[in-house]
């Protein structure tokens, strides 16, 4: 639209000039060397304009003829550069596609067409990496270090090769050299921080971490966690060097930076305890307990309150529990701090049955006749064993088998029931037959009803018929 307006303005100016000349006619006379030329003023102007245009055309024609060789050389160089950039582009595409053969071919073609070694060396190095020729790639990357514009690219390539080979020492040196060229590169700061941390250079890693957070390479929340870890490691390092004050300051700084970081809180509490600040140690653990209850904090708190009596320790642990009352670790901490009471009168557990003869009580000798370890009359119940602990017929009564509910003497026997007798605890429990009419107090309603029978297994001799006395 603007160009059309300008064209209309130009035409209007020309028309206005032509109208003005028509309204003001005149004569122009030229007298030169005896020749007199007379013409109208308008015609004279047109002749002058035409002569000027012809002069311009002739000047340009002469300039084109005289500058033809130079222009032809420039054209050839332009076409050569265009073809070189096309080859370079195809080579980059081949590298991205993983076509090592095409990438190497395009790299050679671009190197022959272009007089720009930085670009062609980068493509050649990447093509060599695709083909697995690390030696050639390293040569290209090393050659790129000689040029300031490609030094950073060469360092990046060498750094990648060092990390791939596992040479962290050389990788750390290359990363620091690259940082001197490009100090705020995010990926470089992240790599440098990782290498310094793995090398144990905690102070340098902390400085690099701050730069990485400022450059956006690491999230601020992650940066706080990383810094707390670095401070904790610096605390251990200071302790190894005998600087206990620095160890405590670094551990306290880590705890202040991240209050829920359990290792930092536990270490700060133990270091405070070592210099006699038990109250500060307890506050440190309680502060971390509000955020992250943990068994390591329980152990550290137990060391803090170890000098108190048991009941005071329980009260202190209950105070600790109040900081996180709904957490299971709080309940476990109080339970472990409570004084343990020894078990009184615990008999054999049901799980002991079937665990083998070692878990069962020993065989009890049965009361026999005179001379067999005790007398048993008619009121003493059925005789369990004869002299020597053997029943008539050469077979003894095996209480182990009875307790396991196994058959004895060819007939099934019901399992025994363990009952607690009045005034008897633990191993003094009596085994009473679970049979109709039996009582736990040792009495039986049969007979005279007043006769006391000792608590034990009522057994009928196999050689005496049922109902025999």
- 158 and 122 fall within a common domain: no
pTM value is: 0.56
Q: Answer whether residue 207 is part of any domain.
A: yes
Where are any strands of DSSP class E within 85-141?
A: none
- 136 and 155 fall within a common domain: no
According to DSSP, residue 443 is labeled B
Which residues face 442 on adjacent strands?
Answer: none
Q: How many residues does the chain have?
A: 469
- Structural domains of the chain, count: 2
| Tokens linked to 450 | 């007043």
Q: Answer whether residue 117 is part of any domain.
A: yes
Nearest to 386 by CA among 397, 401, 398: 397
Q: How many CB atoms lie within 10 A of CB 462?
A: 14
CA torsion, ordered 186, 192, 197, 203, to nearest 10 deg: -90
- 138 and 158 fall within a common domain: no
- 129 and 172 fall within a common domain: no
- 182 and 206 fall within a common domain: yes
Q: Is the separation of the CB atoms in 272 and 248 below 8 Å?
A: yes
Q: Is the separation of the CB atoms in 135 and 158 below 8 Å?
A: no
- 189 and 135 fall within a common domain: no
Q: Is 125 exposed, middle or buried (0-12, 13-18, 19+ CB in 10 A)?
A: buried
Each residue of 389-428: pLDDT tens digit? 444 444 444 444 434 444 444 444 444 444 444 444 444 4
**For residue 277, what pLDDT is reported?**
92
- 120 and 160 fall within a common domain: no
**For residue 280, what pLDDT is reported?**
93
- 156 and 207 fall within a common domain: yes
Which residues face 30 on adjacent strands?
Answer: 37
- What is the CATH number for 186? 1.25.40.10
Q: Answer whether residue 454 is part of any domain.
A: no
Q: Could you list the residue range(s) of the whole structural domain that residue 189 is in?
A: 151-217
Residues 401, 360: Cα–Cα separation, whole Å: 10
Q: Answer whether residue 110 is part of any domain.
A: yes
Residues 313, 301: Cα–Cα separation, whole Å: 10
* Last residue within a domain, chosen from 125, 144, 163: 144
- 116 and 159 fall within a common domain: no
Q: Answer whether residue 126 is part of any domain.
A: yes
Each residue of 19-34: pLDDT tens digit? 887 787 778 788 888 7
- 90 and 135 fall within a common domain: yes
**For residue 396, what pLDDT is reported?**
43
* Last residue within a domain, chosen from 92, 109, 144: 144
Q: How far is CA 80 from CA 73, 108, 140, 346, 391, in A?
A: 11, 14, 24, 100, 120
Q: How many CB atoms lie within 10 A of CB 352?
A: 14
Q: Answer whether residue 2 is part of any domain.
A: no
- 116 and 133 fall within a common domain: yes
Q: Answer whether residue 197 is part of any domain.
A: yes
Q: Is the separation of the CB atoms in 321 and 331 below 8 Å?
A: yes
Tell me which residues of the chain have a pLDDT lower than 70: 340-469
The CA-CA-CA angle for residues 356, 362, 368, to 5°, reads 140
- 187 and 132 fall within a common domain: no
**For residue 340, what pLDDT is reported?**
65
**For residue 336, what pLDDT is reported?**
87
Q: Answer whether residue 338 is part of any domain.
A: no
* Last residue within a domain, chosen from 99, 119, 144: 144
């Amino acid at each position: 639209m603007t160009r059309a307006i300008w064209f209309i303005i130009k035409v209007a100016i020309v028309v206005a000039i032509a109208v003005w000349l028509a309204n003001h006619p005149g004569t122009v006379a030229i007298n030169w060397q005896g020749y007199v030329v007379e013409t109208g003023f308008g015609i004279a102007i047109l002749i002058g304009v035409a002569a000027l245009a012809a002069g311009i055309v002739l000047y340009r024609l002469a300039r084109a003829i005289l500058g033809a060789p130079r222009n032809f050389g420039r054209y050839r160089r332009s076409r050569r550069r265009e073809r070189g950039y096309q080859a370079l582009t195809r080579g980059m595409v081949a590298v991205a596609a993983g076509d090592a053969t095409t990438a190497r071919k395009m790299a050679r073609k671009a190197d022959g067409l272009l007089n720009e070694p930085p670009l062609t060396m980068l493509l050649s190095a990447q093509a060599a990496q695709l083909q697995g020729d690390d030696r050639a790639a390293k040569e290209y990357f090393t050659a790129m270090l000689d040029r300031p514009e490609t030094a950073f690219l060469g360092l990046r390539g060498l750094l990648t090769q060092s990390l791939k080979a596992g040479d962290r020492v050389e990788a750390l040196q290359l990363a620091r050299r690259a940082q001197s060229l490009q100090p705020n590169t995010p990926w470089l700061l992240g790599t440098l921080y990782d290498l310094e941390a793995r090398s144990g250079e905690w102070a340098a890693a902390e400085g690099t971490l701050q730069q990485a957070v400022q450059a956006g390479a690491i999230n601020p929340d992650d940066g706080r966690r990383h810094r707390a870890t670095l401070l904790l490691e610096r605390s251990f390092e200071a302790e190894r060097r005998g600087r206990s004050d620095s160890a405590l300051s670094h551990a306290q700084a880590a705890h202040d930076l991240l209050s829920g970081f359990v290792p930092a809180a536990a270490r700060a509490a133990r270091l405070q305890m070592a210099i006699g600040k038990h109250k500060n140690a307890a506050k440190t653990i309680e502060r971390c307990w509000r955020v992250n209850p943990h068994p390591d904090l329980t152990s550290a708190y137990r060391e803090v309150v170890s000098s108190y009596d048991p009941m005071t320790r329980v009260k202190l642990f209950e105070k600790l529990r109040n900081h996180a009352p709904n957490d299971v670790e709080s309940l476990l901490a109080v339970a472990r701090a409570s004084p343990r009471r020894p078990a009184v009168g615990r008999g054999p557990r049901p799980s002991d049955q079937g665990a083998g003869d070692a878990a069962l009580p020993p065989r009890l000798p049965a009361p026999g006749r005179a001379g067999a370890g005790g007398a048993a009359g008619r009121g003493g119940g059925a005789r369990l064993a004869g002299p020597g602990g053997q029943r008539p017929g050469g077979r003894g009564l095996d209480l182990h088998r009875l307790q396991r509910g196994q058959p004895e003497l060819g007939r099934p026997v019901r399992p025994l029931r363990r009952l607690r007798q009045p005034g008897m605890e633990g191993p003094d429990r009596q085994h009473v037959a679970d049979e109709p009419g039996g009582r736990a107090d040792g009495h039986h309603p049969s007979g005279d009803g007043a006769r006391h029978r000792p608590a034990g297994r009522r057994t009928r001799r196999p050689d005496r018929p049922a109902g025999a006395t």
